Amino acid sequence: MKPVNRVIVGISGASGAVLAIELLQMLKDLRIDSFVTVTAGAEQTIRHELGASAREDIRSLASFDLPSTDLAAPIASGSFQVDAMLVAPCSMRSLAAIAYGTGEGLLVRAADVTLKERRPLVLLARETPLHEGHLEAMLKVTRMGAIVSPPVPPFYAGARTLEETVRQIAARALASAGIDPGHHLKRWEGMSS
């Protein structure tokens, strides 16, 4: 894997903002600069799921916290060099907006730029069950080069707590983006006899 210096983390309004916090902690531990943008829906979800102080936790973990309305932010341009982007969690609304290139808000614009520049884009899609429209949007972004990676627990990893499960999901997402998560990822080593 090549050295990674800058990663965009988009946080949309789907349930599971804890995944973004775990990703940001890992990126900080790996000494990789993170550029975070949080949608309006995510602001509400974060407060509901994680409490009033969680948004400040995200700000403190991020290298740069960019307003979702700032379409002049550096990550809105392909000339600004970043190595990858992850959207965690990724709502179906954000996934569809990325699939159809609507350009609404900084998260979708940054994802659009990531795709057009052929950089890794990993979407931790959060919805179940899925209908045909969801599946079509997932297929569309996959054909465009994104990786749709629903946050499915790797049961073989033997996680015993929710925190351990979240850590493994986040580490797998980083690996999907071409970023070595180091000691954070418990890798499959075959079955012991």
Divide the 193 residues of the chain into consecutive groups of 10 and give the mean pLDDT of each group: 87 96 97 97 96 96 97 97 97 97 94 98 96 97 98 87 95 96 86 70
Specify the 3-state DSSP secondary structure of 27. Answer: helix
- Tell me, what's the pLDDT at 1? 60
Using a 10 angstrom Cβ sphere, with 0-12 exposed, 13-18 middle and 19 or more buried, the burial of residue 150 is middle
The pLDDT assigned to 103 comes to 84
- Of 55, 44, 56, nearest to 15 by C-alpha is 44
Tell me what pLDDT residue 55 has.
96
* Per-residue pLDDT at 3: 77
**pLDDT of the residue at 193:** 60
pLDDT of the residue at 5:
95
- Which pLDDT does position 20 carry in this prediction? 97
The domains of the chain are located at 6-180
Domain 6-180 homologous superfamily, CATH: Flavin prenyltransferase-like (3.40.50.1950)
Residue 158 is predicted with a pLDDT of 84
Under 8 Å CB-to-CB from 169, ≥6 apart: which residues?
Answer: 19, 22, 124, 151, 152, 153, 154
Q: Is the model's pTM score more than 0.85?
A: yes
| Whole-number pLDDT of residue 178 | 96
